[in-house]
Amino acid sequence: MELRHIHYFIAVAENLNITRAAQQLKIAQPPLSRQIRDLETELGAPLFERSPQGLRLTPAGNTFLQYARQITDLAARSKEHIAEMADGLQGTIYIASVEGHAPRLLSRWISAFKDSYPHVQYSVWNGSTDDVIYRVTNSLSEIGIITEPHNDEGLFSIPVYKEPWTAMIPSSDPLALLPGDTIPLPALKDRDLIIPSRESRLMEIRNWFPEENVDLKIRCRVAHMLNAYELTKQGVGIAIYPASDNHFSNDPDVTIKRIVDPEVYASYILVWDRARRLTHAAELFLRSVCDSLSIHMPA
């Protein structure tokens, strides 16, 4: 049995169609069929059930598929390891991140990792939590930094940071004149609000108000902080955003207060796809982050 035979089998098992698998492998269909039959003969068991409707994996085929993926994964890792022994860890780590405090976290993590692995490069993409999850689950990025809430189905996730939510208030509003740098949450329930555009954010903010029949006045839902700031400055409403998104604390037209009674927090989460094998560089980067936070990395 050769490694190429195992790659052939995986392609057929994933496509359940010899023609499509042959096209994917860029080989002719007859030799591919012959290689699969030779593999079945060597293993002493049929790997596929063949019918006019197509192919199906047998129980033996399902078991061998698990071993086949482990074998190809080990082969790839060994190749990476030998190359790293000669030249040091290299490659590009693809990371997708939300805004807010995430860029600060990421810059510190990259700086620390760079000291140990100076040849690694990074491709960083920024967007909303929904965009980041899409990129991670569609293999466009290996690692994502998002904010809660999120659906963690199919993702490994670890919490890495949390920060308070704040209210960005037009300075002409009477609430801006309240003493101190905090504002009680109930004071916002009858005011025009500007909030992040994510649907899950709307549900989260509504859940802050447990009273029945509270009809929040959501005046605007915006994707970017700058839009929220400009709308607040013009008196359209009060913007609710995590603390690190507020870059305008010195603007006399806008007053920023931390929300209390109760305090509410935005949580940042590091995520990666359960179904995808990370590159060695990405795996070591994640382990470095977990070590810095004294967090156990999920296996």
Tell me the C-alpha distance between 43 and 40, whole Å: 5
Would you say residue 299 lies in a domain? no
- pLDDT of 73: 77
Domain boundary pick from 40, 57, 87:
87
Query: Residues 282-291: what's their mean pLDDT?
Result: 94
Domain boundary pick from 87, 118, 136:
87
- 180, 275 contact by CB (below 8 A): no
Q: Are residues 72 and 55 in the same domain?
A: yes
- pLDDT of 169: 94
Would you say residue 37 lies in a domain? yes
- pLDDT of 128: 85
Residue 194 pLDDT > 80, yes or no? yes
Q: Are residues 224 and 286 in the same domain?
A: no
Q: What is the pLDDT of residues 98-152, one digit of tens each?
A: 988 899 999 999 999 999 899 899 999 998 888 899 899 888 899 999 998 777 6
Q: Are residues 282 and 157 in the same domain?
A: yes
Query: Residues 184-206: what's their mean pLDDT?
Result: 90
Domain boundary pick from 66, 87, 108:
87
Residue 79 sits in a domain whose CATH number is: 1.10.10.10
Instruction: Reduce the DSSP state of residue 242 to 3 states and report it.
Output: strand
Residue 83 is given by DSSP the state H
- pLDDT of 85: 56
- pLDDT of 267: 92
Using only C-alpha atoms, the chain has a radius of gyration, in whole angstroms, of 26
Would you say residue 131 lies in a domain? yes
Residue 268 pLDDT > 80, yes or no? yes
Beta bridge partners of 54: 51
Residue 192 pLDDT > 80, yes or no? yes
Q: Are residues 253 and 168 in the same domain?
A: yes
Would you say residue 240 lies in a domain? yes
Would you say residue 298 lies in a domain? no
Residue 212 pLDDT > 80, yes or no? no
Query: Residues 201-218: what's their mean pLDDT?
Result: 83
pLDDT tier at 276, thresholds 50, 70, 90: confident
Q: What is the pLDDT of residues 87-106, one digit of tens each?
A: 567 788 999 999 888 999 99
User: Got the DSSP string for 222-270?
Assistant: ESSHHHHHHHHHTTS-EEEEEGGG---TT-TTEEEEEEETTT-EEEEEE
Share of the chain above pLDDT 70, in %: 94
Query: Residues 40-54: what's their mean pLDDT?
Result: 89
Residue 271 pLDDT > 60, yes or no? yes
pTM: 0.67
Q: Are residues 285 and 260 in the same domain?
A: no
Tell me the C-alpha distance between 235 and 169, whole Å: 8
Residue 96 sits in a domain whose CATH number is: 3.40.190.10
Domain limits at 275?
A: 92-161+267-293
pLDDT tier at 249, thresholds 50, 70, 90: low
Would you say residue 73 lies in a domain? yes
Structurally, the chain folds into a number of domains equal to 3
- pLDDT of 163: 92
Q: Are residues 99 and 215 in the same domain?
A: no
Tell me the C-alpha distance between 83 and 55, whole Å: 38
Q: Are residues 272 and 143 in the same domain?
A: yes
Residue 19 pLDDT > 80, yes or no? yes
- 100, 245 contact by CB (below 8 A): yes
Q: Are residues 72 and 145 in the same domain?
A: no
Q: Are residues 99 and 129 in the same domain?
A: yes
Say how far residue 239 (Cα) sits from the centre of its chain: 26
Query: Residues 231-254: what's their mean pLDDT?
Result: 84
Q: Are residues 237 and 272 in the same domain?
A: no
Q: Are residues 48 and 177 in the same domain?
A: no
Q: Are residues 274 and 137 in the same domain?
A: yes
